[in-house]
Amino acid sequence: MKANQNTTVTDASQQKAGKLQSELNVIEKKTKDVQAMSEDDVKFVGELGWLAAAAVLVTSIAVGL
C-alpha cells in the first residue's frame, strides 16, 4: 500500500510540474517576444520559487513515509 501512496503522490507532483512548466513556457514566450509582462505574470514568477520548494518538500516527505 505504501508503494501505491508514493505512486499517487508522484503522479500528482508530475501533473503539477507539467502545469507549472506550461505556464513558464507562456511567460518565456512573452519575454522572447519582448512583450510587457502583466502584473499577474510578475507575481507568478515571484511566487514560483516558493511553489517549487513546497512541491519538492511535499514529495520528499511522502517518499519518506
pTM value > 0.85 = no
Measured CA to CA, the distance from residue 47 to residue 54 in angstroms comes to 11
Q: If you count them, how many residues does the chain have?
A: 65
1 pLDDT tier (thresholds 50, 70, 90): very low
Per residue in 13-40, pLDDT (tens digit) is: 788 888 888 888 888 887 776 567 778 8
Domain segments of the chain: what residues? 2-64
Confidence of residue 63 (pLDDT cuts 50, 70, 90): confident
Which pLDDT value is given to residue 54? 82
pLDDT at 58 over 50: yes
Residue 12: what pLDDT? 77
- Alpha-carbon dihedral of residues 44, 49, 50, 53, nearest 10 degrees? 140
